Amino acid sequence: MKLAKILGAAILASVTSVGIAAAQEVKVGIAAEPYPPFASLDSSGEWSGWEVDIIKAVCEAAEMDCVITPVAWDGIIPSLTGQQIDAIMASMSITEERMKTIDFSDPYYNTPAVIVADKSMEIEPTAESLSGKILGVQAATTHQAYAQKHFADSAAEIRVYQTQDEANQDLVSGRIDATQADSIAMSDFVNSDGGACCEIKGNVANDEAILGKGVGVGLRKGDDELREKFNAGIAKILEDGTHAEITSRYFDTSIYAD
C-alpha cells in the first residue's frame, strides 16, 4: 500500500512542520474581507490602504516585527483570544462591550458613523426618517449594535451582512434602502464608480457607549507589554508627522481627533 504510506508520510510531515513562532513576531490581524480605503487587496495579492500603511508605520516606530494576518471579521476577537493573532488593527472601535473581552491601545483614528442611501431618496439619519425602510449593516460592528438599539423599532428590517462591501452591493442593487457605516469608508464608496447612485445623508447622533471612543489596536487582556509598545508607536507617528503624511496620501482632512 504505497499510496497509504505516502499519504501518511505527507500528513506526518505537515503536522510536524507546525513550528514554534519566533518570540518577537507580532501577528497583526486585519479583516480578510476588503474594507477600502483602509485595507483592500489588489490583484497581485498585496494588501494596501490607509490602515495597512499605519500598521507598518506603527510597527516600525515601535520596533516590532509585524506580520499582517487576514482573519474573518466576525471571528476576529475569538482569533485574538484564541492566540491565532496578537493584535487587531481592523478599524475596530473602542467600545465598553468589547472592553469586557479584550484590551485596547490608545485610539489611532476617529470618524463618525453615517447613513448612506440612494440620491433620489429623502432620508435623514434619524429613527423617524428610517421608519419602514430596510437598513443594512455589517455583522459584529458598532453600526450593527447602534442600528439594533436605535433603529430596530422603526425600520422595517435590519439586514446583517458579513462584509460592508456586500451591504454596499445590495444598496446599489436596491435591495436595501440605506446602510449605516463609517464616514470615511462611505465617502470612498460614494465617490467610486460603483457607488455613484448614492450619497451620504448625514451623521447619526452620537452614542458613545455603543459607537465607542475612536479606533484602537485590539489586544488580549493583560498583554500590557504589547499595549505599551503599540501606544508608544502610535504616539511616535502622531508626533513625528508620519500619521499626518499617510493620511494626506488618502484623505483631504485629518481623521484623528482627541
Partner 1 sequence: MSGLRAMMRPHRLFLMALFAGFVIWCALSLRWDWVPKYAPLALEGLWVTILLLISTSVLGFLLAVPLGLAQAVGPWYLSAPARAFCTIIRGTPLLLQIWLLYYGLGSLFPQFPWIRSSELWPYLRQAWPYAVLALTLSYAGYEGEVMRGAFSGVNKGQLEAGRAFGMPRFTIFRRIWLPQAIRNVLPTLGGETILQLKATPLVATITVMEIYAVSSRVRAETFIVYEPLLLLALAYLLIAGLITLLFRRWENRGSANPELPRTRREKNLPLEG
Partner 2 sequence: MVLLIDLSGLSDALELLSLSPPGWGSNLLRGLVHSLQIAFGAFGMGLVIGLFGAYGKLYGGPITRDLLAIYTTVIRAVPELVLILILYYVGTDLINKASQAMGYGRVEISGVIAGIWVLGIVQGAYATEVLRGAIKAVPPGQIEAARAFGMPTLTLMRRVTIPAMMGFATPGLANLWLIATKDTALLAIVGFNELTLETRQAASSTRAYFTFFLAAGALYLIVTLGSGVVFGRIEKWARRGQPSLRGGGR
Give me the helix-helix angle, 50-61 and 224-239, nearest 10°: 110
The least distance separating partner 2 from the CB of residue 142, rounded to whole angstroms, comes to 20
160 class by beta-carbon count within 10 Å (0-12 exposed, 13-18 middle, 19+ buried): middle
Segment 147-152 long-range contacts (CB within 8 Å, at least 24 positions apart): 147/180, 149/207, 149/210, 150/204, 150/205, 150/207, 151/127, 151/180
Closest to partner 1 by CB, 120 vs 253, is 120
Cis (ω within 30 of 0) for the bond into 37?
yes
Find the binder of partner 2 among 23, 24, 222, 252 (CB under 8 A). Answer: 23
Q: Which stretch binds partner 2 (CB under 8 A): 35-43, 146-154, 227-235, 250-258?
A: 35-43
Told to check if 144 binds partner 1 by CB under 8 A, we report: yes
- Are the CB atoms for 195 and 168 separated by under 8 Å? yes
Please name the amino acid found at residue 79: S
Instruction: Write the binding mask 38 to 57 for partner 2: x where contact by CB under 8 A, - elsewhere.
Output: --xxxxxx------------
Told to check if 191 binds partner 2 by CB under 8 A, we report: no
Told to check if 98 binds partner 1 by CB under 8 A, we report: yes
C-alpha cell recorded at residue 79: 482569533
- Site residues (vs partner 1, CB under 8 A): 74, 77-78, 81-82, 97-98, 100-101, 134, 136, 139-140, 144-145, 159-162, 166, 169-170, 172-176, 197
- Site residues (vs partner 2, CB under 8 A): 1, 4, 7-8, 10-11, 14-15, 17-21, 23, 32-34, 36, 40-45, 70-73, 75, 78-79, 81-84, 162-163, 165-166, 169, 172, 193-194
